[in-house]
Structure formats: C-alpha cells, structure tokens
A and B are shown apart, each in its own frame.
Chain A
C-alpha cells in the first residue's frame, strides 16, 4: 500500500538566517513573507510570535525580534540536504517549498508489515516507525516538524496543516482542534515501545492512540509542551487510516482544501465553514455551483485526491552523448544535435513527460569541457523546441570561442522534467453535449408536470451539415479566401 506523507519543518528559514548571520546572536528571529510572519525561531514563538501576524504586531509581541524578509533568506542548501535525507526512505520525493515536501512511502498493508491490515483501518507498526524516523531526520533542520500521513496528498497535507495550526496558531482561550487520526508524538528514546498512552507532545514518547473510532486528542499545544521549554525539536505526527479520510476531514476548516482563490471566495459566499459541510453536498450540485471545478471540490471534501506524488528530487535529466572524433564544422554538430533532440523528445513523449531545461556539453579534443544550459518558457515534449534550444546553445558556445574548436564529443541533455498536461480542447469532450441533453430532459420533465394533458416531446432533429459544424467551430473567414 502507498502512504503519502507531507512533512513540514517549522524554523527552517530562521535556522538559515541564524546560520547566515543575518540576525544578531540571541535575538529572536521572525521571517516575513508578504509583510506577514511566515516562519520564526523557537524563542520567537515561545515569546508569543503568531504565524500570519503583520510586522507591527511582531514588534509588540516580541519586542526584541529581528525581522528578516523571506527574499533575503537562502534556505535552498538546508532544503536540499533535507530532501536528500528523504531519499533514504523513498525514491518518491516531491519538494513543494523548501520547508515542505511530499513523500510516497510504499509499505505493506498489515500492522506488522504483512498484507491485510488495510481492511482493518489500522496503521501498521512499520509505518509508524518509518514516519517517526523520517520526522527525526527532519528535526535537525528546524525546531518543530509536522508530519501528516494518509492515502492521498490532500489528506496528508490537511493532517500536517491541522497539526501545525494546533501547535503554533492556537489562540489563547480556544480549544485544540479535535483530530481524528492516529497521533504519534515526541522522539522515541532507546528501548521505548509503549503504545496506547495519551500524552503531551514535545520531548515525550510513545504512540498516542487517538485513533478514529476511539477518542482523543494529543495535548501538544504551545502552552503545555512548551516550545520555549523544550530543547529537543517537537515532532508532531498524525496518520489518517485508510477509509477514514472523509471523517478526518469533516471537522477541518474549508480553507484546507487546495482550491483556487475564486472557488474559495465562492465557498465563503455559500457560507460553508467546514469540509464536512461541503461533503454533504452532492457532486452534481457542486458542478452546478462551480462548474468543472465543483467536481474536484466534491471529491476533495470526501478525501479523494488521485494525484500521485511525483518523483521530482533529485531532478532527473535525460542525456545523449555522441562521439564525433574531432570535427570542426558546425553542420555535423547541428545534425547530431537534431538527432539527439528527436531521440530525447521521443523518450519524453513515451513517458508523457516534457522538459523545461535544455543543456549542451561539448567535449573538445584539447580536453576542455564546455557546458551551457537554457531554460524553456514551458514544458516541451516535441523535438523542435529542444532542437532549437540546442542549436542556440551551440551557436552561443562556438561564437564565444572565436576560432572553431575541434569537438570530440557532444552531449545533449534535457532537465526539469515533469508530466505534460494533455488536456485537449472541448472538441473531444462530449461533456457539454451531455449536459445539454440533461438540461433538455429536465425541461421536458417540468413541462410534462405542468401540462399533463399535452403531448410534449422533442421535434425531429435535423442532422447538422458538415459546413454548419465547421461554422460552429470557427468563423468562415479563417478557412477561406475573400471573393
């Protein structure tokens, strides 16, 4: 079974700020993004820093805080190190942001690694151990780690987000969120294997059985476990067992769904506050309200998200090297690059992928190696743009050298590989036709109800001529010349 895991590190940027010496030693750090708090160090949060609060409030909450702009922080090196650590657990690593990563953990179903545990709606011990090890690996990059695990991206992200909200965003006087998921908390000391306890998170141990159908919330809030008091990083883990996704999502705010802004606005207008409320509305009604995006909202609200984790780290490259044996002319080089472009494009095409980076490596007879890269404006999977990119790079490299060099080998490579969106125009989709037919049938049913004595039906349908069909698709002037 595949478990999708969302790992989020709090304090990664603040640690990078500290490392780069952007803040004076000892001062609490608040990282701002778009003028609002995005990250901070443990001391800042312990002093009352609130995520999302504006800069002026930070100065009230944490008077000594050093405010650093997100754009000034270079957390890439730390993030790459973290993603490399993730590769030890799974080859499916999809970075989302430097502090967020999605993983796909292919693990057997059963509680002890055997098959059959999935049906019981339980979480295997092996998964718990794997996730805990992952969280511990992430812990060295920040002061708190939130790990959400589920059977889909959406559920994993929602679980991690809920943990973070509970841990960092809880306002004084409010109750912690009721999370119906298996919660693990705290780094595990040697020899401990206890389960079934309910306990506070940071620095403590064990598996909190707050599972679905049982009860419970782990008290791991800021006030109790104490960010400021704990020296060790806080590990917050929530695992949503299979089949319980909708129940888990139901009490969470509707903002946890990854909707585009216009859909989010519409949801607000409809007065929906929780995901469970959205799940009670039928898919047809959602489509009526929101159009095609309604279908996604209906499925997300029930915990259905078929989008897989893309193995995007380390960045993949495809390359083709050709030995030329020392040529000086540009023509044979261009011919070879065209051939390479065609072969690389065919490889990408077969996998349904495209590339956004084209690279050229020229190995000269005198031992020098020249390398050039070019980023394409969007993902391309056909030979022509790759070939054009390679030819441009070749021209740049050779023009820079002046004297035509003797080239021993040439390598064409493509990078930034991702799945190509194959969406086609509505010409191939009969959805509109189906929807029209449904509307006609609905209208006829209403008319039958209103005028029961009358015979009401559709008239004879005249098939459209080819010309009329073409006129519906495009205006005639495009296809003809003027008389």
Chain B
C-alpha cells in the first residue's frame, strides 16, 4: 500500500545531485539508500515537465518516492509506502 502526498519538500542532495536527506512532517529523514531512480517524460504534449523519480529508503525505515523537476529546480515528496 502507498499514500500519495505530492507536496513540495526541502531536500539536501549529495554531490551527485541525489537526495541525501529531506524534511517531512516536521521530521528530518536521512536517506539510507536510493533504491531506484528513473526519468519520466510526462505528458510532454501538454507541456508537462520531465521529472526524475527516486525511490529511497530512509534510516527510520520508511520508503518514499521523491520527484525532482529539473526545469523548475524543485523537489516533491510524491508518495510514501506503508
């Protein structure tokens, strides 16, 4: 099961630009591992931005999907897995 959050989030990145930590619900979550990463083109025919999706595991045991939108230089916490 998963829950869609889809809210802007502050993310600290590592030198490669991958998420290292983020703040969610007042808690700072440190990324233990980036499990997967991929690029989605989105609905480009409707001028939707491309995004880079990261599925990360945090040190607190959570599993999240973070999206980075390069054109707008912002991060979104898209989904939290139960």
Q: Which residues of A are at the interface with B, using a C-beta cutoff of 8 A?
A: 465-468, 476-477, 479-483
Contacts of A479 in B (CB 8 A): 40-41
Contact in complex: A466, B43 (CB < 8 Å): yes
Contact in complex: B41, A480 (CB < 8 Å): yes
Tell me the complex Cα distance, A479–B42, Å. Answer: 9
In chain B, what residue has the closest Cβ to A462?
B4
In chain B, what residue has the closest Cβ to A482?
B38
Contacts of A467 in B (CB 8 A): 40, 42
Q: Which residues of B are at the interface with A, using a C-beta cutoff of 8 A?
A: 4, 6, 37-43, 52-54
Contact in complex: A483, B4 (CB < 8 Å): no
Contact in complex: A481, B39 (CB < 8 Å): yes
Contacts of A466 in B (CB 8 A): 43
Contact in complex: B38, A468 (CB < 8 Å): no
User: Given A465-B6, A481-B38, A482-B37, 12 other A-B contacts at CB below 8 A?
Assistant: A466-B43, A467-B42, A476-B40, A477-B38, A479-B40, A480-B41, A482-B38, A482-B39, A483-B37, A483-B38, A483-B39, A483-B53
| Residue among A467, A481, A482, A483 with most chain B CB within 10 A | A483
In chain A, what residue has the closest Cβ to B52?
A483
- The 10 A-B residue pairs with the shortest CB-CB distance in the complex, in nearest-first order: A483-B37, A480-B40, A480-B38, A483-B39, A483-B52, A483-B38, A480-B39, A482-B38, A481-B39, A476-B38
Contacts of A476 in B (CB 8 A): 38, 40, 53
Tell me the complex Cα distance, A481–B52, Å. Answer: 10
Minimum CB–CB distance from A473 to chain B (whole Å) comes to 14
Minimum CB–CB distance from B36 to chain A (whole Å) comes to 9
Tell me the complex Cα distance, A476–B79, Å. Answer: 14
Contacts of B37 in A (CB 8 A): 482-483
Contacts of B54 in A (CB 8 A): 483
Tell me the complex Cα distance, A483–B39, Å. Answer: 5
In chain B, what residue has the closest Cβ to A468?
B4
Contacts of A465 in B (CB 8 A): 4, 6
Tell me the complex Cα distance, A152–B59, Å. Answer: 68
Contacts of B6 in A (CB 8 A): 465
Tell me the complex Cα distance, A301–B13, Å. Answer: 67
Tell me the complex Cα distance, A480–B4, Å. Answer: 20
Tell me the complex Cα distance, A466–B53, Å. Answer: 16
Contacts of A483 in B (CB 8 A): 37-39, 52-54
Contacts of B38 in A (CB 8 A): 476-477, 480-483
Minimum CB–CB distance from A465 to chain B (whole Å) comes to 8
Minimum CB–CB distance from A245 to chain B (whole Å) comes to 50
Tell me the complex Cα distance, A481–B4, Å. Answer: 23
In chain A, what residue has the closest Cβ to B46?
A466
In chain B, what residue has the closest Cβ to A479?
B40
In chain B, what residue has the closest Cβ to A466?
B43
Contacts of A468 in B (CB 8 A): 4
Contacts of B43 in A (CB 8 A): 466
In chain A, what residue has the closest Cβ to B6?
A465
Tell me the complex Cα distance, A466–B40, Å. Answer: 13
Tell me the complex Cα distance, A403–B56, Å. Answer: 68
Minimum CB–CB distance from B18 to chain A (whole Å) comes to 9
Minimum CB–CB distance from B35 to chain A (whole Å) comes to 12
Minimum CB–CB distance from A323 to chain B (whole Å) comes to 47
Tell me the complex Cα distance, A483–B40, Å. Answer: 9
Minimum CB–CB distance from A107 to chain B (whole Å) comes to 58
Minimum CB–CB distance from A386 to chain B (whole Å) comes to 34
Minimum CB–CB distance from B69 to chain A (whole Å) comes to 13
Contacts of B4 in A (CB 8 A): 465, 468
Minimum CB–CB distance from A467 to chain B (whole Å) comes to 8
| Residue among A465, A467, A477 with most chain B CB within 10 A | A467
